[in-house]
Chain A
Amino acid sequence: MNHRGPTALVLLLVGAVLLVGGCSPAPADETVAGGPAPATDAPARTAPGGGSAGADGVTPRADAPPDVPVRPARDRPAASPPAPARVVVDAVGLDVEVAPAGVDAEGRMALPDDAQSAAWYRFGPAPASPAGATVVAAHVDDLAGAGPFARLRDVAPGATVEVVDAAGTTHTYTVTGTESFAKADLPLDRVFDRTGAPRLVLVTCGGTWDPERRSYTENVVVTAERSDA
Chain B
Amino acid sequence: MHRTARRSAALAGAAGLVALGAFAAPASADTAENASLSVLHGVPDTPVDVWVNDELTLDDFQPGDLAGPLDLPAGSYSVAITAPDATDTSDPVIGPVDLPLEAGGNYTAVAHLDAEGSPTATLFTNDTSPTAAGEGRLTVRHVAAAPAVDVLADGSAVVSGLENPDEDVLDLPAGTVSAAVAAAGTTDPVLGPTDVTVAEGVNTIVYAWGSLDDDTLALATQTIDGLHSAPDGVPGGLTGAAASTGSVTTVVALTVGASLVGLLLVASAVMLTRAVRTQRVRESGRSTEHHPA
Binding site for B on A (CB under 8 A): 4, 8, 11-12, 15-16, 19-20, 23, 25-26, 30, 32, 35-36, 38-40, 42-46, 53-56, 59, 61, 63, 65-66, 68-77, 102-104, 106-109, 111, 113, 115, 121, 123, 137-147, 149-150, 153, 183, 186, 188-189, 191-192, 194, 203-209, 211, 215-216, 219-220
Given contact pairs A43-B199, A73-B40, A139-B238, A103 touches B134 in the complex (Cβ within 8 A): yes
Whether B222 pairs with A40 at a CB distance below 8 angstroms is no
Residues of B within 8 Å of A25, CB to CB, are 238-239, 260
Within 8 A of A (CB), among B239-284: 239-245, 250, 252-254, 256-260, 263-264, 266-268, 270-272, 274-275, 278-279, 282
Whether B200 pairs with A53 at a CB distance below 8 angstroms is no
CB distance from B70 to the nearest CB of A (A): 6
A15–B256 Cα distance when bound, in Å, is 13
Seed contacts A19-B266, A70-B58; 12 additional CB < 8 Å A-B pairs = A8-B275, A38-B175, A38-B176, A70-B62, A74-B221, A106-B232, A106-B233, A141-B242, A188-B232, A191-B234, A204-B234, A204-B237
CB distance from B91 to the nearest CB of A (A): 15
Residues of B within 8 Å of A138, CB to CB, are 236
Chain B, Cβ-Cβ closest to A191: B230
Residues of A within 8 Å of B222, CB to CB, are 73, 75
Whether A103 pairs with B231 at a CB distance below 8 angstroms is yes
Whether B257 pairs with A77 at a CB distance below 8 angstroms is no
Whether A59 pairs with B85 at a CB distance below 8 angstroms is yes
Chain B, Cβ-Cβ closest to A70: B67
- Pairs across A and B, CB under 8 Å, 22 listed: A11-B271, A20-B260, A23-B240, A25-B260, A30-B235, A38-B175, A38-B176, A38-B198, A43-B225, A45-B225, A65-B58, A66-B57, A73-B65, A107-B233, A111-B234, A138-B236, A141-B257, A192-B230, A205-B237, A205-B242, A206-B244, A211-B240
Which listed residue, A39, A69, A123, A203, touches B67 by the CB 8 Å rule? A69
A108–B96 Cα distance when bound, in Å, is 49
Interface string of B220-231 (1 = CB under 8 A from A): 111111101011
Whether A44 pairs with B223 at a CB distance below 8 angstroms is yes
Whether A194 pairs with B279 at a CB distance below 8 angstroms is no
Whether A139 pairs with B133 at a CB distance below 8 angstroms is no
With an 8 A cutoff between CB atoms, is B173 at the interface?
yes
Which listed residue, B223, B240, B263, touches A77 by the CB 8 Å rule? B223
Binding site for A on B (CB under 8 A): 40, 55-62, 64-68, 70, 84-85, 87, 132-134, 173-176, 197-202, 204, 207, 220-226, 228, 230-245, 250, 252-254, 256-260, 263-264, 266-268, 270-272, 274-275, 278-279, 282
Chain A, Cβ-Cβ closest to B250: A209
CB distance from B231 to the nearest CB of A (A): 4
User: Which of B62, B236, B245 has the most CB atoms of chain A within a 10 A radius of its CB?
Assistant: B236
Chain A, Cβ-Cβ closest to B87: A61
User: Which of A73, A107, A189 has the most CB atoms of chain B within a 10 A radius of its CB?
Assistant: A73
Given contact pairs A59-B85, A65-B57, A209-B240, A108 touches B230 in the complex (Cβ within 8 A): no
Whether B197 pairs with A76 at a CB distance below 8 angstroms is yes
A68–B65 Cα distance when bound, in Å, is 12
Interface of A is mostly: loop
Residues of B within 8 Å of A75, CB to CB, are 66, 204, 221-223
Which listed residue, B58, B60, B84, B233, touches A183 by the CB 8 Å rule? B233
Whether A53 pairs with B61 at a CB distance below 8 angstroms is yes
Given contact pairs A12-B271, A107-B133, A208-B244, A40 touches B66 in the complex (Cβ within 8 A): no
Chain B, Cβ-Cβ closest to A221: B234
Chain B, Cβ-Cβ closest to A107: B232
User: Which of B65, B235, B250, B254 has the most CB atoms of chain A within a 10 A radius of its CB?
Assistant: B235
Whether B234 pairs with A109 at a CB distance below 8 angstroms is yes
Which listed residue, A74, A102, A143, A216, touches B236 by the CB 8 Å rule? A216
CB distance from A131 to the nearest CB of B (A): 11
Residues of A within 8 Å of B230, CB to CB, are 188-189, 191-192
Whether B236 pairs with A205 at a CB distance below 8 angstroms is yes
Which listed residue, A63, A76, A145, A183, touches B257 by the CB 8 Å rule? A145
Which listed residue, B67, B207, B236, B270, touches A137 by the CB 8 Å rule? B236
CB distance from B128 to the nearest CB of A (A): 13
A40–B266 Cα distance when bound, in Å, is 48
Residues of A within 8 Å of B258, CB to CB, are 143-145
CB distance from B61 to the nearest CB of A (A): 7
Which listed residue, B173, B197, B245, B263, touches A208 by the CB 8 Å rule? B245
Given contact pairs A12-B267, A43-B199, A70-B61, A207 touches B234 in the complex (Cβ within 8 A): no
Residues of B within 8 Å of A142, CB to CB, are 238-239, 241
